Structure 1
Amino acid sequence: MNHQKILADISARKFSPIYFLCGEEPYYIDLICQALEKQVLKEEEREFNQNVYYGLDVDVSDIIAEARKYPMMAEYNVVIVREAQLLKNIDNLEVYFSNPVKSTILVLCYKNKKLDKRKSGYKALQKNGTYYENKKLYENQIPDWINAHLGQAGYHISVRNALMITEFLGSDLSNISNELGKIILNLPQGATITEDVIEEYIGINKEYNSFELNNALGHRNIVKTNRIINYFGRNEKKYPMPLIMGNLFTHFSKIIKFHYVQGKPRAEQAAFVGVHPFFLKDYEIASRNYTLKKLVDIVDILHNYDLKSKGVGNSNPSNSELMKEMVYLILH
């Protein structure tokens, strides 16, 4: 069952006696758990009928005992176990999975892992509860997620600006959701999320960011690249060299990949390179500007300057100067 269906059922008060929430993406696990935490009981009912435990601090026997209690002056008894992946002897919950109490809603947040589907506990869950499992989104899927997330809230954003947010925030959906929340709180529904809006509420400089650096390097725009690098050098705390190095390695690795799928259908190119199809034209330009031999040299340059930034074979303590040297070698 997907998270949309589970959330819709919760809103309609169609509850399951057990929710086993697991997988690589904690955002949706937290989202479902929060919905249950807020929507099952009224605020005045929660003091005696809603208990939250942590896997490291509780025994399976205590969870079962709590789940077998009946509610006091409420319809449900809610038992939430956060960090359930840290529970010892979780297989012992099978006895409860096989015979849950209908007036209890047991929620297990089992992050970054999944249940062994060969065991009988999984089969009991499938029969008597809700088993939800997810996978982490690939980075090239994040811009579409941002677009959909904002669209559901009544906002509009271009693919380019969604990618800029992705380049800056990475693939942590919880963090992205929090940052987008700042925009949603301050702009009216129907608004378009522009670069100025992103700069004001998320703090991404529309001219000086990793996305623009990648673009400048890909187009071999020496003036723009140096302007961005100089800005990064003056703001090292906001643009630390390890973050920039990781971004550049990923970017040039994708240009290398593009070389191997030139002439292929666009969908195949996008899937292989790991980018949104909208940006394939930028990689096409970059592949014309950098031969495979040069790209291999660039990867070597990045590796060497990554070591230098960590103090290996480097007598120059300034990361700003290192970045200037590195970019010069990449472009020439």
Structure 2
Amino acid sequence: MVLDIWKKISKKQVDPVYLLYGTEAFLINETKQLLVDNVLEEEEKDFNFSVYDLEETPIEEALEDAETFPFMGEKRLVILQNPLFLTSEKSKGKIDHQLAKLESYLKQPAPYSILVFSAPYEKLDERKKITKELKRNATVVEAKKLTEQETKAWVRERAVTHGSGIENDAIELLLALAGTNLFMLTSEIDKLALYAGENQLIRKEMVDHLTARSLEQTIFSLVDKVVHKNVEAALRIYYDLLKQNEEPIKILAVLTGQFRLIYQVKELARKGYGQQQIAGTLKIHPYRVKLAAGQAGAFSDEELSRIIMLLADADYQMKTGGMKKEMLIEMILFQMKGR
């Protein structure tokens, strides 16, 4: 698990080769930053830290750097970006990598260097010999979306790094308000920890007071008001969005997406899919599935179909100028009241 690898790096327990791959950019960036912060002293970075783009530089040139003894320090850190040769894609450039030299290096890596492959790809080509060799000899960080439990554990760890703790209820509310984007969560946790103060607990009330709501989470709250038949509160949220200069067509798109998600979750659950399976099928975070599943029970299939049709019609009206955009969403919310 990526959190376990981070803990080891933070304790300066580093390995000679790392492979970071996947599409969750935050996890890749955070791992690289942890290595930079824990392997090198500030004054060493000019001499012992190198970054190569393997779409522009042959691997043998980077390996030559890794095999060079560090200057004024004990370790050398070499980061290799975009190792496209690990995938099934063909390189657009004219770089011809001597992969035999990489295979040889992996069998006996320089004891004074840390070699880091940063591969922002969803999949690697497991059929290739070099991919197999690298995965066999490297510490692998798969940068995929964290599960609900991993996200919560990460939130706790992030708070601890600031000398704070965080209540379980506060974590739940934070995820509900800010979503599961790790870049956004980092900003929110850092702000909350600063507000709480060192050795203090981040409480639910602080999260409610200080956390910035993403548009998606604000729309989720709006839908939740509809679920509980409190359309007046839903309208207040909608009017607040308009005051924040959110475009009605953008609000409509996110609102439609939320109801489509509720419908999909309801349908897949009926087929016996668990929440993790649904998340994998729809390619979304499991926490979003959990929230949508909680809302799905409030609507019959007929109600959801009718609402989605209303939203589709509103989208057509907005794009053809059939009615004032702001009024279209108002009308839909009033119609939902009598569902």
What secondary structure is seen at the aligned counterpart in 1 of 2:110? coil
1:129 to 121, 134, 138: 138
In structure 2, distance between residues paired with 1:270 and 1:223: 34
Q: Deviations over 1:155-198 (max 9, x none)?
A: 32454x54554455443212221222111222223323335544
Residue in structure 2 matched with residue 249 of structure 1 by the alignment: 257
Partner residue of 1:326? 332
Q: d(CA) in 2 for partners of 1:178 and 1:186?
A: 12
Instruction: Tell me the distance in 2 between the aligned counterparts of 1:76 and 1:143.
Output: 32
For residues 113 and 143 of structure 1, the distance between their equivalents in structure 2, rounded to whole angstroms, comes to 20
Q: Deviations over 1:256-290 (max 9, x none)?
A: 6447758x9xx95797595589868953xx635x3
Residue among 104, 109, 124 paired with 1:115: 124
Unpaired runs of 5+ residues, structure 2, are 86-90, 280-285
TM-score, L = length of structure 2: 0.76
- CA distances 1:293-324 after superposition (whole Å, capped 9, x unpaired): 12111112222323444x2x2244x5422321
Residue 193 of structure 1: which of 196, 203, 210 is its match?
A: 203
AA matched with 1:32: T
Q: Describe the shift of the 1:217–1:14 C-alpha distance in structure 2 as closer, same or farther (beyond 3 A).
A: same
* Alignment of 1:222 onto 2:231: yes
1:78-89 mapped onto 2 (5 Å cutoff) = 78-85=77-84
**1:122-201 residue pairs with structure 2 within 5 A?**
122-137=131-146, 144=152, 147-149=155-157, 152-153=160-161, 154-159=164-169, 162=171, 165-166=174-175, 168-188=177-197, 189-200=199-210
Which whole-Å CA distance do the structure 1 matches of 2:5 and 2:275 have between them? 35
Q: 1:234 to 1:129 in 2, by over 3 A?
A: closer
Q: Is the 8 A contact 2:80 2:116 kept in 1?
A: yes
For 2:337, give the aligned amino acid. L
In the alignment, the residues of structure 2 paired with residue 304 and residue 158 of structure 1 have an alpha-carbon distance, to the nearest angstrom, of 41
Amino acid at match of 2:103: E
Report the Cα offset of residue 217 of structure 1: 0.8
Provide closer, same or farther for how the CA distance between residues 25 and 275 of structure 1 changes in structure 2, counting only shifts above 3 A: closer
User: What CA distance in whole angstroms lies between the structure 1 residues aligned with 2:24 and 2:265?
Assistant: 27
1:26, CA displacement in angstroms?
Answer: 2.2
Q: Does the Cα contact within 8 Å between 1:16 and 1:105 map onto a contact in 2? A: yes
SS at match of 1:102: coil
Tell me if 1:314 matches 2:316: no
- Could you tell me how far apart the structure 1 residues matched to 2:7 and 2:158 are? 19
2:282 match: none
TM-score, normalising length: structure 1: 0.77
Shift of 1:62: 2.4
CA distance in 1, matches of 2:205, 2:213: 8
Q: Describe the SS at the equivalent of 1:209.
A: helix
1:231-270 equivalent positions in 2, closer than 5 A: 231-237=240-246, 241-243=249-251, 245-251=253-259, 253-254=261-262, 257-258=265-266
Letter in 1 for 2:137: N
In the TM superposition, residue 216 of structure 1 has moved relative to its aligned partner by 0.6
* Deviation per residue, 1:198-228 (Å, 9 max, x gap): 443x3339xx933421211111212212222
Q: 1:249 is matched by which residue type in structure 2?
A: G
